[in-house]
Amino acid sequence: MSNKNLLNKKRKLPSKNYKNMIIAKIEVKEKNSCHRIISSFENQRRIDNIFINYDEMIENEKEIMDCEIYINDIKVDFYYDFIFPDIGIYTIKYIFNNLLKSTSCMFLFCGPFLSLDFTNFNTEKVTNMAYMFSSCSIKELDLSNFNTKNVKNMSYMFDYNRSLKSLNLSNFNNNQLKAMKGMFFHCENLTSLNLNGFNTENVNDMSFLFESCESLTTLNLSSFNTKNVIDMDSMFQFCESLKELDLSNFITKNVKNMNSLFRYCKSLLSLNISNFNTEKVEDLGSIFQNCNSLIKIDISNFNTNNVQDMSGMFDRCSSLTHLDISHFNIKKETDLRNMIRNCNSLISIYMPNINHIEEKFKENIFQNSNSLILKNIHQIKNNKNNKCFKKIKIHSSKKK
């Protein structure tokens, strides 16, 4: 029997002995249209580095397969992709006869959901929620009932959920949380995000965490503990509407990667990162690229002894007028390409001698920064025919 005829067949509703139930409402706009109503385990196999271990993947398959599905109170066979016969709003009930240990990828690519009701959903045993709502078309999520005390992995949990506008996770207990990479990646319409009380002391990877949250105007991270974080790659990249960001509580002594950390935060008016410890950082490439509303950036505390990549670091910081990087330790093979390119308002910069840098790593370093006067780098005048200084006025006066 084709699944489009299944809704015409009467079946009994489940008993109330189930351990878990999720109720979804889905909007169908075309007759005989196909929508995914629960994620395929095959999708989980193709995603790397998000599961605690392979045994958990196998257990998750057994748990999700041990699920009864009712559409408009009619039981249907277990389908990942279901053909809905008519236009309208359907109610889907997911009945689990066990306490799940993993909900990873559960609603991957599902939708278009109007709502998901987790009132009778018990998550106390769950350790893995990675990709749970990834690419899921849903406009609202009430997760106030979630028990997350044992969850270790929330990587990409909400990524590419482009319809979601607000999310309150203040009830989450994150004492066991270790992985949250890309958790809100491409939540492009998210305007409100409540993370009050989030415990991140065991997290070591925050890369891509808020990348492309384009509509967020404020972000309170006062509860974040970053003492064990190693990777902050692209953490706030493309947070285009953020006007302020308080990171005064951030501990960065173990961070190695800050590439594109604030890239395209083009509405940021000020940024205080005087507390940043960068002694272990190896990559600062594009960290401030396209922060074109920032008039000044104080990085006098930056230690660059281990930095290998500074390419594009201030590229398109078009409102920046003065820059002091005279304290930077720039090694022979440090990548400086496009470092101070397109800084149209920059009129002066203090920087160390870079004559020792290989030519291939200095390509377009000052391109289109035509108002610039180089200060306190008098060693460079012996090499002023170098193409990267061709349009730059060399000024050798000392910094006062």
- Rounded Cα distance, 201 and 213, in Å: 23
Residue 263 pLDDT greater than 60, yes or no: yes
For 44-48, 128-132, 254-258, 284-288, which range has the lowest pLDDT when averaged over its residues? 44-48
Higher pLDDT: 138 or 143? It is 143
Q: What amino acid is encoded at 358 in this protein?
A: E
Angstrom CA distances, 125 to 50, 151, 394, stand at: 18, 8, 65
pLDDT at 205 over 90: yes
Q: Give the chain's largest Cα–Cα span.
A: 89
Give the single-character DSSP code of 13. P
The pLDDT tens digits for 372-389 are 766 544 334 444 444 454
Helix (H) or strand (E) holding 94: strand 88-96
Task: Give the residue among 334, 196, 318, 199 at the shortest CA–CA distance from 268.
Answer: 318
Q: What is the DSSP string of 27-45?
A: EE-STTEEEE-S--HHHHH
The confidence band for 394, taking pLDDT boundaries of 50, 70 and 90, is very low
User: What is the Cα–Cα distance from 99 to 76, expressed in whole angstroms?
Assistant: 22
Provide the 3-class DSSP secondary structure of residue 75: strand
**216-221 contacts, C-beta under 8 A, 24 or more apart:** 216/190, 216/191, 216/241, 216/242, 217/191, 217/241, 217/242, 217/243, 218/242, 218/243, 218/244, 219/193, 219/245, 220/194, 220/195, 220/196, 220/246, 221/195, 221/246, 221/247, 221/249, 221/250
Predicted confidence at residue 18, as pLDDT, reads 74
Structure tokens at 144: 């106030």
- Of 360, 305, 323, which is closest to residue 338 (Cα–Cα)? 360
Residue 113 in this model has a pLDDT that exceeds 80: yes
pLDDT of 194 = 86
pLDDT of 35 over the 80 cut: yes
Q: Which band of pLDDT confidence, cut at 50, 70 and 90, is reported for residue 398?
A: very low
Least confident of 98-102, 113-117, 202-206, 211-215: 98-102
**pLDDT exceeds cutoff 60 at 367:** yes
Query: In the prediction, which pLDDT does 61 show?
Result: 61
**For all residues of the chain together, what is the average pLDDT?**
85
DSSP state letter for 294: -
Specify whether the backbone of 391 is left (phi greater than 0), alpha (psi in -120 to 50) or beta: alpha
pTM: 0.87
- 92 token code pair: 């889907």
- What six digits make up the tokens of 52? 């605690």
Mean pLDDT of 35-49: 62
Distances 91 to 8, 140, 205 between C-alpha atoms, Å: 15, 16, 38
Domain ranges within the chain, ordered by starting residue: 1-150
Listed in sequence order, the residues at least 6 apart from 76 whose beta carbon sits closer than 8 Å to its beta carbon are 3, 6, 7, 69, 70, 82
Among 64-73, 161-170, 310-319, 342-351, the minimum mean pLDDT is found in: 64-73
Average pLDDT, integer, range 17-43: 83
